Structure 1
Amino acid sequence: MQIGLHALGIGTGAQRSVIDAVAVAAETCGFATLWSGEHVVMVDRGASRYPYSADGRIAVPAAADWIDPLIGLSFAAAATSTIRVATGVLLLPEHNPVLVAKQAATLDSLSGGRLTLGVGVGWSREEFDALGVPFARRGARTDEYVAAMRTVWRDDVASFTGEFVRFDSVRVNPKPVRDRTIPIVFGGNSDAALRRVAAVGDGWYGFYLDDVGHVAERVEFLRATCRDAGRDIAELRLAVALRSPEVDDAVRLADLGVDELVVVEGPPANPQDAAGWVSVLADRWLAAATST
């Protein structure tokens, strides 16, 4: 079992000095991955329901700083040398897939192959409306964008024809470091999200699940879905963040086949406090991970 840290990109975690300090301390302490999520647009009073809380509301204030995850993680990668960086998650249907492929490959190349691209379909209709992207069929759009990005990464001269994106005989460089691909993990806890993981994903980032029992039920559904798709769940990398995790959960999650427990915390505002803050988290969580 590995331990990841989802702490960068929002509020105090959007400050350059805090990003540097947290990234260096997390690598020194032995965290596996630095995660950072995305919302391009927030609204003060939206009608869309947030799927990861009981009351349907996101806890992040609409006025909070929320930086672009690929740019923010590039600073974290520049401050470190071994820790992985991951978007958790980037809302893929809101973006041009050729541009995302270029940006992701650039970060992967500059970081020495340390990027995992976590993507999701999105839940905020208001956000899609502000960006001029149809909210309907965003799942199908996501699937096609993933296929288009993998084509761009794989082929020297790439062509693609789909419903939502098409290009002919283009060159997009650099290429990703690891066999011209970047691991794509899908966020979301719904049946549809897990079917997407089984069909075309390299892994799953389950976010704010209720407890280990909830994870067990979702993993079993994913296992069955993989079997139906002719895949082995062991091919996938599974990372989960619990709403209120306990130290003992690491052992139980490892028994379920989860590869990484992601700790979600907000860092201190003063970068001088970051090392001590990360060390406290490491003392609590990494000891539990080493026992699995």
Structure 2
Amino acid sequence: MRIGIGLPNQVRNLTPSIIPRWAARAEDAGFSTLATTGRYAYPGVIDTVALAAAAGATTTIGLLSAVLLAPTWPGALLAKEIAGIDGISGGRLTLGVGVGSRDDEFTVPGHGLAGRGTRMESDLATDRDIWGGKPVGNGPSPAVPSGTRQVPLLFGGYSAPTWCAGARVISAARCHRP
């Protein structure tokens, strides 16, 4: 049996230096996975920072974002951050993504609830391109080091935009949006 544990990154007003110690203790205790949850509009530590801290403090335990609200981020920036965290961890990261459902999570101008499923589909394609070493924008350089792997994806959510984005990434399936 494999049992994971959540990082306390979204405990209200957490002292951030607890995160790497928590991660190391969870690994020592034999847990299989450390998971985060992410919310911008909450006094905690953002999930990518918590995952990076856990990656640096551990060597074997799996890492999981459960779930990161992908459409709230600029796509290329998130792809680069995730690739970096995965590289630091030695390939132990699984990127769990969802589309979000609260207006207060969307802090990037132009990134609101409307169109989030379509945006996530586009961003996931950007992730794959960036992780595959394709040049960024109009320049000749990739955003990540050569040898960066395609980070495994896990889709979480209860809305049609989540399921449709996941279905298209996995199988290029068509999905009806109500």
TM-score, with structure 2 as normaliser? 0.83
Aligned to 1:151: 129
CA 1:17/1:135 → structure 2, altered by over 3 Å: closer, same or farther? closer
Task: Quote the RMSD (CA, aligned, Å).
Answer: 2.5
Letter of the 1:124 partner, please give it.
R
Partner of residue 194 from structure 1, selected from 140, 144, 163: 163
Inter-partner Cα distance in structure 1 for 2:15 and 2:146: 29
Alignment of 1:229-244 (within 5 A): 229=173
Deviation at 1:126, TM superposition (A): 3.1
Deviates more, 1:77-86 or 1:8-17: 8-17
Aligned to 1:22: 22
Cα-to-partner distance string for 1:185-241 (whole Å, 9 max, x where unaligned): 11113455334333325xxxxxxxxxxxxxxxxxxxxxxxx7x95xxxxxxxxxxxx
Aligned to 1:131: 108
Inter-partner Cα distance in structure 2 for 1:175 and 1:187: 29
Deviation at 1:109, TM superposition (A): 1.0
Letter of the 1:131 partner, please give it.
V
Deviates more, 1:13-22 or 1:24-33: 13-22
Aligned to 2:94: 116
SS at match of 2:3: strand
Inter-partner Cα distance in structure 1 for 2:22 and 2:96: 20
CA 1:38/1:193 → structure 2, altered by over 3 Å: closer, same or farther? same
Matched, 1:183 2:161: no
Matched, 1:174 2:145: yes
Cα-to-partner distance string for 1:23-66 (whole Å, 9 max, x where unaligned): 12211222111111111125xxxxxxxxxxxxxxxxxxxxxx21
Aligned to 1:274: none
Inter-partner Cα distance in structure 2 for 1:71 and 1:185: 19
Gaps of 5+ in 1: 43-64, 159-166, 202-225, 230-292
Q: For the Cα contact (< 8 Å) 1:33–1:86, is it kept in 2?
A: yes
Inter-partner Cα distance in structure 2 for 1:97 and 1:175: 19
Please say which structure displays the higher CA radius of gyration.
1
CA 1:171/1:35 → structure 2, altered by over 3 Å: closer, same or farther? same
Alignment of 1:25-44 (within 5 A): 25-42=25-42
CA 1:185/1:8 → structure 2, altered by over 3 Å: closer, same or farther? same
Deviation at 1:17, TM superposition (A): 4.0
CA 1:140/1:108 → structure 2, altered by over 3 Å: closer, same or farther? same
Gaps of 5+ in 2: 174-178
Matched, 1:83 2:54: no
CA 1:193/1:173 → structure 2, altered by over 3 Å: closer, same or farther? closer
TM-score, with structure 1 as normaliser? 0.53
SS at match of 1:87: strand
Partner of residue 70 from structure 1, selected from 42, 48, 69: 48
Q: For the Cα contact (< 8 Å) 2:7–2:50, is it kept in 1?
A: no
Identity of aligned residues (%): 35
Higher strand share: 1
SS at match of 2:38: coil
Inter-partner Cα distance in structure 1 for 2:31 and 2:84: 23
